[in-house]
Each structure stands twice: as structure tokens, then as C-alpha cells.
């Protein structure tokens, strides 16, 4: 019996650690543009998007001159600036956005979806008043009881 208990305790702890990780694999993940955008659909229906903040930068040579393509136009490259934008869109249409630029405080915005106006309820007819109950007659006193 002691040997069974000694083996069961580590197995139970192993299941307790592995179960949440196995359950989390149900989420849908997609990635695009080498990690600049990750979209996840949560179990509750929310769509979570995380994007890196990017900037178009002019490509220059060692002398600081712009590099031109075969048409004579300046060439630009996309560079990550070190910040990110995290957006959560709920099934009800609410959108929560966190913008974090490196070296600055995060900016949080909340956009609530417009709610559809409810139809007015029909008025209930008034209930008729209940007739008053007649008063109960008094009980006669019984002999032999204290009172």
C-alpha cells in the first residue's frame, strides 16, 4: 500500500501540471510577417491581436545618400521600433487596445460597441383589487386552561 501511495502522489502532481498546458492547445494561433502580428481566438470567443510597431526607413549608403532602385525611386525598408499594439475584441463588439512604445508609458483605450435600443414593454393591465377578507370570530374561552 505504501508503494502505491509513493507512486500515486508524483503522478497526481504531474497531471496537475500537464493538464492546463494540454487544455491551452485548443486556441487558434496564426502568425504573419515574421512575428509582427499574432492573432489568437480565445475559448470565450474574443479575438486577441498583437502587432509590432513598424516604421518605413529610407535605405542609405555609407555616405548617407539614398539608394535608388532601377526606376530611380528611393528604397525604403520596414524596421520594428521596439513597441507593440495589443488588441482584444470581445464577441459583444467591445475593443480594448494597449499601445506600448519603448521608453514610454502604455496607452490603453476602450471602445464600447453601440447597443441596440430595446423595444418598450407593453403596459400590463392593472390587477383588480382583492375583496377584503371577513374578520374571524373570536374563540370562546375554554374552561380548565390557564388564562
pLDDT by residue (tens digit) across 58-85?
888 888 888 888 888 888 888 888 889 9
Q: Give the domain extent around 31.
A: 25-111
For residue 145, being part of any structural domain is answered with no
**How buried is 95 (Cβ within 10 angstroms: 0-12 exposed, 13-18 middle, 19+ buried)?**
middle
For residue 136, being part of any structural domain is answered with no
CA-CA distance, 58 to 54, in Å (whole number)? Answer: 13
Q: How many domains does the chain have?
A: 1
pLDDT value of residue 87: 92
For residue 120, being part of any structural domain is answered with no
For residue 1, being part of any structural domain is answered with no
This prediction has a pTM of: 0.46
Percent of the chain residues past pLDDT 90, beyond the cut? 14
Strand partners of residue 123 = none
* Contact present, 104 and 96 (Cβ < 8 Å): no
pLDDT value of residue 111: 92
For residue 29, being part of any structural domain is answered with yes
Low-confidence ranges of the chain (pLDDT < 50): 21-22, 24-30, 33-35
Amino acid at each position: 500500500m505504501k508503494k502505491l501511495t509513493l507512486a500515486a502522489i508524483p503522478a497526481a502532481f504531474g497531471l496537475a501540471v500537464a493538464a492546463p498546458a494540454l487544455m491551452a492547445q485548443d486556441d487558434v494561433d496564426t502568425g504573419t510577417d515574421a512575428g509582427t502580428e499574432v492573432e489568437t481566438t480565445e475559448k470565450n470567443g474574443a479575438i486577441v491581436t498583437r502587432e509590432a510597431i513598424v516604421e518605413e526607413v529610407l535605405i542609405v549608403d555609407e555616405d548617407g545618400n539614398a539608394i535608388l532602385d532601377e526606376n530611380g525611386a528611393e528604397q525604403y525598408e520596414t524596421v520594428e521600433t521596439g513597441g507593440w499594439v495589443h488588441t482584444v475584441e470581445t464577441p459583444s463588439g467591445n475593443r480594448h487596445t494597449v499601445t506600448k512604445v519603448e521608453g514610454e508609458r502604455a496607452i490603453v483605450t476602450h471602445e464600447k460597441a453601440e447597443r441596440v435600443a430595446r423595444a418598450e414593454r407593453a403596459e400590463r393591465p392593472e390587477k383588480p383589487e382583492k375583496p377584503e377578507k371577513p374578520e374571524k370570530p373570536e374563540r370562546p374561552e375554554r374552561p380548565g386552561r390557564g388564562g
